[in-house]
Structure 1
């Protein structure tokens, strides 16, 4: 019996070990599966450089690990809340997906995963519950089971990857979700690597194309130089510079740059004769031995020789010696100017005259100090052509300066001749402005109370008639009149003096304006009587609320020149009615209501009723 129990215990222990081993094997298999998938992902990211190839490769890899015949990837931009379908493979909706806008994904399971940023396993019952709760909308063919995971870069979601099954016999489980999530987290890294490589290769291709185009252009330019077309392009450039509106110094520098492409023009200058032809000035001067040249009187240098000849000249050492013998130029230690010293040491000199209307105004010249270098006749032709354009540019500049002087002189004369007219116009304009101000003041004084600045009776009655006619046509726009009378005004005025009474009226008008709305109209009818026209009322209660607000403000003491004065106000209200035929009738009834308020004890408001008119008529008859 004891052996049997021992055997049973050993069998139980062996069973537990087997189960643990099976669990370890399953976990090892799961880890191996995940590791294999991740290695496959890494391999994909290392050799794929086109996004069009990346997503099908991901689909194939996922299909090897899971039931993923139906698979799609949607990227999401959190800043714009925009969804963009990147890849879609589905056995049922492959054709339908082309007619669905990308942002429709926001209302389905894809948008649900993106919003909550957590993986989701969803069967048909869970799907129906999400639809009933309003979390999602049904889209496309219903699947038996759906599994989706968020694609996140750090804490930021960038998309959703999902697979679904239309086979009710197949259901995804938590182990599948764990594997799919691991693949998804590393898919983002692989996605970034492929995109970077795609961008890099695109940039390399673009740069290679640019380099190829540049190389082709250079090859073409070399061929053009071989065929002599470079000279033509340069001459066109010189013509273009001459026609431009740039300043002369910029023009000289540009011409010098063009010359440097055809000859040794590192040492170049432009010399111009002054107005009386006795001196040379150097607006442009570049020399490797002399930083600048100053104005100087005419002498016997190369420059003066070209001016005398009025022709372009190429002077090499042999020609220079001959010209010295002929007395045309002077070279040697007797030269004193910078230009003479430069010309004396130059090994080759090239100069062309600048002509305006066949008259020489200066010279453009280049020179070389290099032994053995001689300018050619072709370079002489180029310089001769350049000199013509420089002369044209100088002529244009001189003409522009002359035109400017004429324009300034004309403007000065016009200014002088029209000074008196401007003064007269200014005087008339000031008079017109003064008259306008006077007219505006007269209009204001004629339509406003002088003391309070409120509208006076005349202006108020005019506005009342206009508003009354408008309300007759559009009765729905509520309107009412308030007739107001200050309590104890006569006592204040007689006891404290007229100046206190005036101050009391001014302060009263301010309190009235502070109690009414901006579009309401307040007026002083004279003495201590005021009238207010209330517009755009919703009901009679609005008028009563405003009247009560006015009464509350007038219950506060008035401080007038250190005198605290208590007063009040009585208000009669006449709401607009279609029974009224004239605006005067409204004003009359508001007045009657005001007197009724005074009769009841002052400091209150009363809304007009038809019986009040009869009471007033009886009172008038008794008097």
Structure 2
């Protein structure tokens, strides 16, 4: 008994397990049957549906029979733009994503959520809250939509490409999806991928067909309109060509307007038409053309009123008016209130008028109208007539211009004939005037290049000829020419004594004589005044020029017969030869001849001098040296030396004579005598003396510190300071401003200048004496002035001329030296010997009685530089 119970329990357990397996298998078969039936349903309605929406709705019903799918949507990828679309959406909580996220792009929204995640991974996904939070935390997805309990998404694949996602979700914990549901969804997704692709392609094809049909319909309508417009444009173009031809046609006005009417009739019905024109004063209206279907008479010309035509002309705009519009204008008083007799519009149905513009102004109007209600004009007719009217206005303008031009030609021809006859008379007078003007012009040209008095070429013409000669000898180096510059002597005396009239006669006679001395190929010209110039062309050498100069001097030396008396004159001639320099110009050659002429005058007049290029070069060098001296004085480049003046028996220094010297950059050291010579030539003697006085005033105090306060200063000053009172005043002021002790200063003036102008010296000495300075005469004995003349001068000292010391061995000279010394002693003047160069001269002078002297044997010259910190140096000596 006990052994049978376990056996029964095991059998029962195996039976229960078998029953469970059979139930699971039965459930599996049941589900397989249901799935198979669902797939058959899907296949059946997939073959019958025509739209994707119908298919998706049936698909949802089939899936809902398999699994809970109340919350269901399908997302597909658009193959054209790659965007995600939601063709079917059903949810118990959320609205369609387009409505749920109105401000976002639907595709971007879905791509960031679970749907996009399935598309990107191409794997089925069953997602609960835990899975959802993990995906959000890893930033694989973004929070989207309402929170749900479970979410299943399976990719829809077609040929290994994911084309969409099937999604079901549950909000209730009672509904739980498992791997079975995912497998079922994958199975369905695989079977519907082709259907979805086919429906999408079909929808795209239908859409493309509809789009193309609409495009073809629009293109057809456009083509019809283009054909109509082209035919209309061809008619319009043909009409415009005809109007242009009419403007140039040789027909009368009536035929012209009739043809215009015919052309317009090709474009629109114009049974009633007229053209109105304004006159030039804009006051009268004429009707050159009028046609009516009822054969009404043409309106007569009239003054402007308030009719319909005037209304168009006044408003400057084309108008299309019907009967009602016209009546409104009449009722408002704009039409026919002043001229009611003009109103003939009672029978008119429509009325079109277009103003005609000529030269930008309204000059008329083109009008058409209809009486029949069956004939209606449109706005396009007004536009067409407005366009054509522009060409009609141009044609009318040309027609009127042609008629006016024809009339003008006729009038012009008459005027031309009259003017031609008048011009024949004027031309005759004008020819005489032109000939007279040419003679005057020739005379003016002659006067511009010739001297009015002598008729000779003037300076301008001579310089042109001289320039040509220079160019010629540069090309032909073996040829030469010469210029003779002639200045008449005593011509000023002639003018002052006999008058300018006789002076003119003298110049005319001189020109005749000079012409006798030259060849035909030479040129004689008058430069002005009594200056004449001769260009000797093609000469052999300077001897040819000298021969001509001698002939000229011989001719000019003959007496002139003026005012019944004879007048003798002569000429000074300067000769300049060509080829002296490669840089010769007309101005330089004439200048050289002028320079040579002044040299001839300085040699006594009545002679000739040939310009010496080397001597002139020396003069240029001298001028350059003078300019350098001016700059040296201006820049304080001259330096100072002191020549000591000593007692002859003791060699004690009693005074110093300051002398300037100049270290020239190329000529070396230039001493005081040469500096004085240069300054005299450039009229800078006074400036040089002022420079010396300023220099000495600044530095003599240093000499006194070295040699004692009793040492004297002897300064040689030019007598040019005494030529006039202003110069004397300037010298006096400069000496007054000197800071040195004036009692120790002796100012010496040259004896020769004193002899030439004793009165000025006496007056100037009297003016300078109150300054408490000592005055003296130097180079005494060189001009041999009378000893008695010294009694008139307030002087204190004499300096004997250096030539006397040089000839002391001559007894006669010695006697003269003694006489000068004794005379000076008698007048209580201190006498200084100059040029004591040896001991013998020193002994002889002491025997005569001289106490003081200066010279080479008595002491060295002390030099002072122009440095700011001047100091004396006995080591700096010069011979």
Please state which band the TM-score falls in when normalised by the shorter chain: 0.3 to 0.5
Larger-gyration structure (1/2): 2
Please report the TM-score for the alignment, with normalisation by the length of structure 1. 0.32
Please report the TM-score for the alignment, with normalisation by the length of structure 2. 0.23
